[in-house]
Structure 1
Amino acid sequence: MKLRKVTAASAAVLTLALTATACGSDDGDDGGSSSGGGKKITIGIKFDQPGLGQKTPQGYAGFDVDVATYVAKKLGYSEDQIEWKESKSADRETMLQRGDVDFIAATYSITPERQEKVDFAGPYLLAHQDVLIRADDDSIKSPEDLNDKKLCSVTGSTSAQNVKEKLAPKAQLQQYPTYSACLTGVQNKAIDALTTDDSILAGYAAQSQFKGKFKLGGFKMTNENYGIGLKKGSDLKDKINDALEAMVSDGSWQKAVDANLGPAGYKNDPAPKIGEIKS
């Protein structure tokens, strides 16, 4: 009886050892996830921001996508090893904390509140709150000219409220469900101006159907330091910072800005220095 028990125990140990060997992960994986035996990296982007992060029938496009792709290549991943995941603004910290993505590049402004929850590489773009108006509208030349004008932003956004509280108290706030709806309102003259980050405005205005119809005010009402979000303590931070510096130095950064945002007359600030956050 005792002999049979020892034999059964030995068999169980052997089975567990074989199972562990079969399920072992690829030790060569450099911070990314493994899928189907192949090396993968999962990156969060916006799917609905033209010029920045957009899912199209042809794939994924935009400045954030170009930055993320460049960084991934520097980390050792080819384009077909990237898995893109939609990262809505309200979900970004949770996605990073849960490990749903390896990093996020999605118009993600670095703020003290967010830095308590996640780490950031960068910044890689200095954006500013601005307004978008019709190309033939010469009545809005400064933020103060927004007084008595119909000013639109998306429902839940603080952009329009910031303008009303600090710069144009008589502005008539209009909330639409999407930036596209605001843009149509400006085009149809139901709205005088649309406000949010200038990079986002430029991305929408750069769409082929809108070329030449809108212009940016160039008011630079706030500083928005876009960074690449990472899980707290991620060992990818220094590697990503090195990749961002390389992207600037070899000209790829400016090329990506011009290709994605230039058609709207976007005048970008110089590439920010790593770790330099402008308040």
Structure 2
Amino acid sequence: MVEVRRRPTAGVLAAALLAGATACGIADADENSLRSRDRLVIGVNADQPGLGERTADGSYRGFDVDVGKDIARRLGVPGGNVTFKRVTSATRETMIQNGDVDLVVASYSVTPERKVKVAFAGPYYVAHQDVLVRDSDARTIRDVHDLRGRRLCRVPGSVSFPRVHDELGVAALPVEADGYTGCLDALTSGRLDAVSTDDLILGGLAAKAAGSGPKLRIVNAPFTDEPYGVGVRRGDVGGCEAVNKAITEMYQDGTAQRLLRKWFAPVGLAFTTTVPQFEGCV
């Protein structure tokens, strides 16, 4: 019997092409995902003692830096293949979008405005905005409302000053600084009256100032929740979920609690040691 070879119909060809394109798209997406990388560039702050600070030898240290290292390890990336790069409050989104960094661990509060530009894994911690003052002013500045008419540090790109001035309507007087180390210098030298931002940042600043200037005090009157997320490229759902898995494991095996004690127990901050509620990788 003669075998008759039939040509594939147009519908079959279209289906095959679609399947091939879909498989290629999935492969391309996976190749670009965090979960398939053997090297990572992590964006961190360079001017936040206790969280992310660049040292004299060019290395980085702090809670966020340690969290970044631990996430990379759990993603299967060797320590020697992890590079840290400085980001600022004003450059984080752009550096993620441009591919200058693969992820950002930099006291990066999750906000609706930021979620339009980047995706967030986590949060890996929920901080609270508070106020740092010189000990000599602690009797007259007891909460955020006492900042009316006071000189308050403002860092470009940070949401901390707008939360006080715009959202709460407290008429504080802005004093510009490039970063929170600049805020600390201005506070200890008397050029401003207070710094208001996340309590972990304030704890790091207070620890840095201890023994080298006027005593500083955290007011301990928190007025916001600040979920610290890991910034990743929008669309990398698989990579985001892999980071969430790493954060969960970090809390389950006690690593997160150990790092929090390491960096913030010495300044007397009461920190949370349970896994935060995740935002969702969308």
- TM-score, scaled to structure 1: 0.76
Which piece of structure 1 moves more, 185-194 or 73-82? 185-194
Partners of 1:190 and 1:90 lie apart in 2 by: 23
Aligned to 1:224: 226
Residues 1:190 and 1:77: Cα distance change in structure 2 (over 3 Å)? same
Q: Which amino acid aligns with 2:103?
A: F
Aligned to 1:73: 73
Aligned to 2:90: 90
Q: Which amino acid aligns with 1:187?
A: T
Structure 1 contact 130–195 (Cα < 8 Å) conserved: yes
CA shift for structure 1 position 188: 3.7
Q: Does 1:151 align with 2:152?
A: yes
Consecutive unaligned residues in structure 2, runs of 5 or more = 1-30
Matched residue SS, 1:95 = helix
Consecutive unaligned residues in structure 1, runs of 5 or more = 1-26, 33-38
Partners of 2:47 and 2:36 lie apart in 1 by: 27
Matched residue SS, 1:219 = coil
Divergent runs of 4+, >6 A: none
Matched residue SS, 2:141 = coil
Q: 1:2-13 residue pairs with structure 2 within 5 A?
A: none
Aligned to 1:197: 198
Which piece of structure 1 moves more, 142-151 or 51-60? 142-151
Aligned to 1:174: 175
Q: Which amino acid aligns with 2:97?
A: Q
Aligned to 2:46: 47
Aligned to 1:118: 118
Residues 1:150 and 1:90: Cα distance change in structure 2 (over 3 Å)? closer
Length, aligned pairs only: 244
Residues 1:64 and 1:163: Cα distance change in structure 2 (over 3 Å)? same
Q: Aligned to 2:36, which of 31, 42, 47?
A: 31
Partners of 1:148 and 1:97 lie apart in 2 by: 38
Q: 1:191-216: CA deviations, max 9, x gaps?
A: 32111222222222222655782121
Q: Which amino acid aligns with 2:36?
A: G
Identity across aligned pairs (percent)?
38
Which piece of structure 1 moves more, 137-146 or 251-260? 137-146
Residues 1:82 and 1:224: Cα distance change in structure 2 (over 3 Å)? same
Q: 1:87-130: CA deviations, max 9, x gaps?
A: 22232223222333221111111122222222211001112221
Aligned to 2:261: 258
Q: 1:199-255: CA deviations, max 9, x gaps?
A: 222222222655782121122222211111111222221211111111112221122
Taking only aligned residues, the RMSD between alpha carbons, in angstroms, comes to 2.7
Q: 1:9-62: CA deviations, max 9, x gaps?
A: xxxxxxxxxxxxxxxxxx9x9522xxxxxx422211112221111221352211
Q: Which amino acid aligns with 1:53?
A: G
